[in-house]
Structure 1
Amino acid sequence: MTFRITPLPLSSFQSWLALDDAALAERGARRMFAQTPNSAPCRVSLIDAEPGEGLILLNHAHVTAATSPFRATGPIFVRENAVEAAPAVGVLPALLQIRLLSLRAYDRDWMMTDAEVVEGAAAATWLDERLADPLIQTIHIHAARRGCYLAAASRPASD
């Protein structure tokens, strides 16, 4: 068993990237610039913005199932020059490897069935083990310290 990490799709954010600062503020978002290395993880490209690089900070709904008590939204960064990541099966992007992660496993009804906090370098083993359980549909990966959504993990599609 193995996993595939899925970024958020660039198409969901292209209209945000075209907005000026005033229009972003009207929608509760902000244009920001990364201040330090590894401080602004882009959820589309799955890489950290370089210091000085422009980003949009906005709220994103990552669990949207109306019937789940685990519905959730939170702040995310999208780099202004983001290119959608396509990690290979079984590959944990560096952005995830260097962080303390909160891993949250969900079943088909978006009920949380398991959760753990792990150092990023150890996340691959946990993902593999949990996705071996046929009841688990997806795993959301969050930054443990701030709680922000980073990416999702699921079983790779069958060839």
Structure 2
Amino acid sequence: MKKNIVLIGMPGCGKTSIGKILSEKINLEFYDVDKYIEEMTDELISSLFKKGEEYFRDAESSAIKEICKKENIVISTGGGVIKREENIKELKEKGKIFFINRPLENIINDIDTDSRPLLKDKKSNLINLYNERYELYKKYSDVIINNNLDLHSVIDNIISNINR
């Protein structure tokens, strides 16, 4: 396999949890784009958002470019990575993109909106983000993985789709 495995989807869909377990299971290095941005900028995501969403998106695009120089890795992206086509181009160049499609009601029931800058204090913001982004996730993904089962079933489904 010469491709990266890229996970996209809504905040709270399971990208990071799935990515960590998947990378261990198939013995590839794992990159969480948000953590990478925090290390790269020496600032928390919430602090970057305080400077404006565009400021954060610029940092995100820089991080994507850096991470995409690597091969044979698992990448968990932030939920808004699809807002810039340049990010998707970078990710697709060496990667296969998996949309982790988790039912919105499941996300709403267990996401901590207070820790997510774009969802701060309002679950209705999550619904708005879902409506704004869902078609983009579908458009940019190579494979749609439904996350309505246990994580290990989801991961097995990704593994079976990696080399197709």
User: TM-score, structure 1 length as denominator?
Assistant: 0.27
Q: Which has the larger radius of gyration?
A: 1
Normalised by the length of structure 2, the TM-score is 0.26
Using CA pairs below 8 Å that are at least 6 residues apart, which structure has the higher relative contact order?
2
Larger strand proportion of the pair: 1
Q: Which has the higher helix share?
A: 2
